[in-house]
Structure 1
């Protein structure tokens, strides 16, 4: 049996087919607000393209995979982008944590975004911003609703799906 779920996030249409093997995202090739286009299997939001990878990998493997596509694990600039990400990660079979681009490399240093930009925006799950789980800690996002996410610290060597982000074409 195949079930189709269609979600509209902003001006982007996201269709997801659910089969016995799991969720298969059907990408939109729609134009974003800026008129920019994304490659097949990538979703447009603003001036960036996003892709969910469902195959579970460690944070470092996921970061390498994103780089092979010309991007990086996703960063989150503000509530608007977080809402878009929450929409991407919402749906039956999708309510799993996904790696995003935050890492803390040692216990004496704060967590940093993969692009090196300092941000005031965060969505830490209550009690989870203390990074006490491991020496090297990475961050996962999980949809808390269709309009936001929650972030959770985790050891970087665990396998999770992940979200890549790259500039639009």
Structure 2
């Protein structure tokens, strides 16, 4: 692909981005094309978010987000947790939660969030993580986005995907 082709593609991406109503404002819905389908993502700050309504195990949820060009969300602040509470359509209680991109599958008790062990924001709920019965290795956030816990990775749970605004797939 020549320089002119790359410039034309970049111009097309910017045009499509602007034509779909996206701007620098927060909390708006923007459309991005993924393959032949159009999916809604919610813009907040410098990222897009998408709630996966189908419940699935942790690894499947992680793969689903990757296929859409994102990652499972790990709230980075209380504000982001509250934003997530606003976009998750199910009632706030301990039964309704969503996966976060945190686990201790490699070394019990060493939690990796987004592939790092030094995540400064980890609002674990009281007594969490507790590895109940020695089989809880994946993280989840209550639908309020605050109050994390660990549960078995094989549980079927909702997920929220996140990707930077700059990532557009055609």
Q: Same fold by TM-score, threshold 0.5 exceeded?
A: yes
The residue correspondences of 1:85-124 to structure 2 (distance < 5 A) are: 85-89=84-88, 91-92=90-91, 96-116=96-116, 118-124=118-124
Size of the aligned set, in residue pairs, is: 139
- Alignment CA distance shift 1:133-1:52 (3 Å): farther
Larger radius of gyration: 2
Helix, strand or coil at the partner of 1:153: strand
Q: Tell me if structure 2 keeps the 8 A contact 1:140–1:153.
A: yes
Q: Could you tell me the TM-score, scaled by structure 2's length?
A: 0.68
Q: Report the alpha carbon displacement of residue 116 of structure 1 after superposing the two structures with TM.
A: 2.5
Q: Report the alpha carbon displacement of residue 63 of structure 1 after superposing the two structures with TM.
A: 0.4
Q: Tell me if structure 2 keeps the 8 A contact 1:107–1:136.
A: no
Q: Could you tell me the TM-score, scaled by structure 1's length?
A: 0.69
More helix, by proportion: 2
> 43-52 vs 110-119, which deviates more?
110-119
Equivalent of 2:153 in 133, 152, 156: 156
Structure 1: 5+ residue runs without aligned partners?
Answer: 1-27
Helix, strand or coil at the partner of 2:150: strand
Q: Report the alpha carbon displacement of residue 92 of structure 1 after superposing the two structures with TM.
A: 4.5
More strand, by proportion: 1
- Alignment CA distance shift 1:90-1:35 (3 Å): closer
In 1, Cα distance between equivalents of 2:133 and 2:160? 22
Q: How much is the aligned-residue C-alpha RMSD, in angstroms? A: 3.0
